[in-house]
Amino acid sequence: MRYFFLLLALYQTYAATALPSDSSTVLPKPFTENLIPKNALVFYVIGDWGRKGKYHQRKVAEAMNTCAEVAPPQFIISTGDNFYTFGVKSTNDKLWKKSYENIYNGNAIKETDWYPVLGNHDHYGNQQAEIDYSKINPHWKMPSDYFAMETKTADNTQVTFVFTNTEPLVHSNNTATNNQWKFIDSTLSASNSAWKLVVGHHPVYSSNPMHGDSPPLIEKLKPILEKYNVQAYFCGHDHDLQHQQPKGSKVDYFVSGAGSELRPSASYQHTLFAKSIAGFAMVAITNHTMYVYFIDENGNVIYQYSRGK
């Protein structure tokens, strides 16, 4: 038994510092602009953040702004639970200012576009109000409860993003969810992009004891991701930072749900990294490589990973 726990401790130590591109790097380390390749498409991913600046939210926002001063994101992705505890009531809800506008207002990010998805807490409120807010604030890009977006890197490499509404996908099976499944499948099928990334709120795989894996997504979404050679799935829901990579899978599963309140984390057989620390993900994509950095609330890189197409 003692031998088992020794192996587990060694594995977790490796998982927390595994650097496929540079195994000699010691983490954590301050983020610097030389970590981002020239001409890369840069975006940030943050989830489970909307708490009026409480817990770690404001400090994470400040870290995002500091990083953006040297590596400005083309946009920010929110993996949901944008407003606690019961979503927003309307487009005029005070939470828009208290949890969003007055928090992510640093000079380097206040004009940055956001592409959000709905979390389970957003579903407790007025979901349509989060969609309609796009008409009020041009930086809030949410045309529907699920949608797709295409963009290009500076070297003209095309990237497709599919933004999903996972709350109904994990809890119901009706005509509405069938329409969304068809949308996900048809969008990825039609895409000729070199990079295909999918965003949702609920994890497909997660080692966090609070929520963990989502069996309905493992059953239905995972095969779609693999069929169309999707490189990564980004989500939140569990309040930590994770990188899961099931054996034999070409899809990387990232949890970025540490934008505010945290919960204890854990590791299991799929885990390359899992840590209960406030922060966000920074992603940089070039023609050939995707780089993912987990950055904590102090602006330190606590994990980095790279992969080819």
Q: How many Cα atoms occupy the beta-carbon half-sphere of 163 within 13 Å?
A: 23
Residue-level pLDDT at 175: 83
β-sheet bridge partners, residue 198: 162, 233
Percentage of the chain with pLDDT > 90? 89
* Beta strand pairing call for 75-78 and 41-46: parallel
- The mean pLDDT of 79-83, rounded to a whole number, is 98
Residues 28-42: tens digit of each pLDDT: 999 999 999 999 999
* pLDDT tens by residue, 194-234: 999 999 999 999 999 999 999 999 999 999 999 999 999 99
* Paired tokens of 53: 């600046």
- Name the burial class of residue 185, with classes exposed (0-12), middle (13-18) and buried (19+) by CB atoms within 10 angstroms of its CB: middle
What's the number of domains the chain is made of? 1
- CA distance linking residue 225 with residue 302, whole number of Å: 27
CA dihedral (239, 241, 245, 251) positive or negative: positive
Instruction: Determine the structural domain holding residue 212 and report its residue range.
Output: 2-308
Tell me which long-range contacts 244-248 makes (C-beta under 8 A, separation of at least 24): 244/203, 244/204, 244/205, 244/206, 244/207, 244/270, 244/271, 244/272, 245/270, 245/272, 246/205, 246/270
Residue 134 has pLDDT above 80, yes or no: yes
Q: What is the CA radius of gyration of the chain?
A: 18
Could you tell me the pLDDT band of residue 25, with boundaries at 50, 70 and 90?
low
Cα separation, 292 vs 303, whole angstroms: 8
What is the reported pLDDT for 86? 98
Q: What is the CATH number of the domain that holds 116?
A: 3.60.21.10
Tens digits of residue pLDDT in 238-276: 999 999 999 999 999 999 999 999 999 999 999 999 999
**In this predicted structure, what is the pLDDT of residue 13?**
36
Preceding peptide of 73 cis, ω within 30°: no
Q: What residues pair up with 242 in beta bridges, in sequence order?
A: 255, 274
Whether the pLDDT of residue 12 is over 80: the answer is: no
Mean of pLDDT over the chain: 92
Residue 108 has pLDDT above 50, yes or no: yes
Listed in sequence order, the residues at least 6 apart from 213 whose beta carbon sits closer than 8 Å to its beta carbon are 203, 204, 205, 206
What was the pLDDT predicted at 174? 82
pTM of the model: 0.92
Going by DSSP bridges, is the β-strand pair 232-235/158-163 parallel, antiparallel, or unpaired?
unpaired
pLDDT confidence of residue 20 = 37
> Edge-to-edge strands of the sheet including 252-256?
147-152, 158-163, 195-199, 232-235, 252-256, 241-244, 271-275
Q: At what angle do helices 175-190 and 215-227 cross, to 10 degrees?
A: 30
Phi/psi zone of residue 24: left (φ > 0), alpha (ψ -120 to 50 degrees), beta?
alpha
